[in-house]
Amino acid sequence: MKKFFALFMFPSLLFAQSAHDIIRKVDANQDFTSQKFTMRMTIEKGSQKIIKALYGYGKSRGEKSFMEFTNPEDKGVKYLKINDELWIYFPDADDIMKISGHMLRQGMMGSDISYEDMMRREELDKTYSVKLAGSEKIRGADCYIIELDAKIKDALYAKQILYIDKDTFVPLKIEMYARGGRMLKTMEEFNITREGSRYFARKIFIKDLRKKDSSTTVEIMEMQFNINVPDSIFTRRSLRK
């Protein structure tokens, strides 16, 4: 009776618990031991459209990842990420370059996805304070509106607002903000697919609002989770193979 009375008098306690449950399910959808994927990336800048193709592997929720581009203009360009370090291999120069510092803020291959976005592997429930702000329909789907405020200094974004599908717990829309309150990016997810016990988007649309007339669409052609991926892939030696 006392517990019920406390929740009745202070409904924010109930909402806070519900918000954490929701965001933990979002985190669980993004958790994996290994993955293999094939993607197509379309970068639009004004009237210009650039299409890139790539395949790759990941381990431990993105702690390690490897990607190789296969479209003719970038064929053989490879990326390797291990924990908080990122390298890129240029086949024409047979050169490996480490990406760090201010370079991490640049868009990968000119896209709206920064290298910092690539490096991100934060668990939302641990990185942000969480608030259930209401609900809204996104493209016909009932969604929770969850507000995230960074509680650690090195969070990639100071604030995020997620519109989370109540059935799949996939964010159908995300707004990302700087500390001053300026919206930096938006991301929308489409074609939600179930793979085993998790759901993921096969199409993602990203806009960096700091860039004029720029957007990036990522389409996942193939995705496999929790398969055998050799550790030898995630080594600098593999970049030159």
pLDDT attached to residue 154 = 82
CA torsion sign, 119 to 124 to 126 to 129?
positive
Query: How close are the terminal C-alpha atoms of the chain, in Å?
Result: 66
Structure-token pair, residue 122: 């934060």
pLDDT attached to residue 15 = 45
pLDDT attached to residue 196 = 81
Domains, the chain, ordered by start? 17-240 (2.50.20.10)
Secondary structure of the chain as H, E, C letters: CHHHHHHHHCHHHHHHHHHHHHHHHHHHHCCCCEEEEEEEEEEEECCEEEEEEEEEEEECCCCEEEEEECCHHHCCCEEEEECCEEEEEECCCCEEEEECHHHHHCEHHHCCCEHHHHHCCCCHHHHEEEEEEEEEEECCEEEEEEEEEECCCCCCCCEEEEEEECCCCCEEEEEEECCCCCEEEEEEEEEEEEECCEEEEEEEEEEECCCCCEEEEEEEEEEEECCCCCHHHCCHHHHHC
pLDDT attached to residue 4 = 43
CA angle 61-101-187, nearest 5°? 50
pLDDT attached to residue 53 = 98
pLDDT attached to residue 125 = 86
Task: Name the residue among 215, 192, 190 with its Cα closest to residue 204.
Answer: 190
pLDDT tens track of the chain, all 241 residues?
444 444 444 444 444 448 999 999 998 888 888 999 999 999 999 999 999 999 999 988 778 999 999 999 999 999 999 988 999 999 999 999 999 888 888 999 999 999 988 877 778 888 999 999 999 999 999 999 999 999 988 888 999 999 999 999 999 999 999 999 999 999 999 999 998 888 999 999 999 999 999 999 999 999 999 899 999 999 999 998 8
pLDDT attached to residue 10 = 47
CB atoms within 10 A of CB 41: 23
Record the pTM: 0.87
Check if the beta carbon of residue 69 is closer than 8 Å to that of residue 76: yes
| Distance of alpha carbon 217 from alpha carbon 176, whole angstroms | 17
